[in-house]
Amino acid sequence: MTKPILVANWKNHPKSLNEARMLLRDLSRNALRYKKVSFFIAPPLAYFESVASRAGSFYHLATQDMPPFFHGTYTGVVTPDILKSFGVRLVILGHSEQRALGETNEAVSQKIKTAFRSGITPLVCVGETSRDQDGEHFEFLREQLKLSLAGLNRTTDARKLMLAYEPVWAIGKRAEDAIIPADLAQSVIFIKKVLVDMFGRATAELIPVLYGGSVESDNARALVSGTGINGFLVGHASLDARNFKIIASSLLGK
């Protein structure tokens, strides 16, 4: 049975390297639990060396973004060859915060291809900005998926892809105000249908779909139960070792 996937997106936190090391120490106290899932940590680039030094013990190293080109001379840019040298295994692409800064579906598509060329697994984020009763948000999702994943080979690249459903309207809310399991299940079914249309059923069934958007210790178990997700992409809750342990446990049915 495939392990559930758990990705901790630290964004631009913690505020110091010392706090990052303390967080790793706290997480390591539950290393045996995290070894039961495919666990990735995406820290700020400034903390890469410290986080990379323990990668492989109970987690893998991820990065929060990457440029659309493989290598070259670009001031201020960390290219995939440098990321690979630290042992990066996964890259978060198309995150809602990057899209809010102007990143297009076409730019995400190019980054996905660069990630595959680099041997780094892309975790591609998609999600509607609002949800309506008429279902128009599904058309937004369909277009985002088709444009972001355009040009992928269904028998090679698409089979190594990961997706994160990240409805923008649910981000930053309290657990009780975020997406309800029934709506999440409906969206996952729709995403998988689009994937079948694009890549065929055999390939679509191999693409994990994670959920991100106000994942908390209070709602994680409900979001896992019967919704069809394969894991979580967790933001601020990943900075609290105690709550994050509960989220990991929810993926294991404990």
Active site residue 95: yes
Q: Domain total for the chain?
A: 1
Query: What is the average pLDDT value for the chain, to the nearest integer?
Result: 94
Q: Of 220, 221, 197, give the one whose Cα is nearest residue 207.
A: 197
Q: CATH number of the domain that 19 lies in?
A: 3.20.20.70
Containing structural domain, residue 11: 5-251
Report the sign of the C-alpha dihedral through residues 101, 193, 253, 121, in that order.
negative
- The structure tokens listed for 245 are 């342990």
Residue type, 138: F
What is the per-residue pLDDT for 85? 95
Terminus-to-terminus CA distance in the chain, angstroms? 17
DSSP the chain: -PPPEEEEE-TT-SSSHHHHHHHHHHHHTTHHHHTTSEEEEE--GGGHHHHHTTTTSS-EEEES---SSSS---TT---HHHHHHTTEEEEEES-HHHHHTT--HHHHHHHHHHHHHHT-EEEEEE--S---TT-HHHHHHHHHHHHHTTT--TTTGGGG-EEEE--GGGTT--GGGS--HHHHHHHHHHHHHHHHHHH-HHHHTTS-EEE-SS--TTTHHHHHTTT---EEEESGGGG-HHHHHHHHHHHTT-
Active site residue 137: no
Rounded to two decimals, what is the model's pTM? 0.96
pLDDT digits (tens, 9 = 90+) for 63-91: 999 999 887 889 999 999 999 999 999 99
Q: Which of 60, 128, 137, 166 is catalytic?
A: 166
- The structure tokens listed for 92 are 């978060």
% of the chain with per-residue pLDDT over 90: 87
pLDDT digits (tens, 9 = 90+) for 2-51: 899 999 999 999 999 999 999 999 999 999 999 999 999 999 999 999 99
What is the per-residue pLDDT for 101? 96
Q: Which of 95, 128, 137, 216 is catalytic?
A: 95
Q: Is residue 147 within 8 Å of residue 105, measured between CB atoms?
A: yes
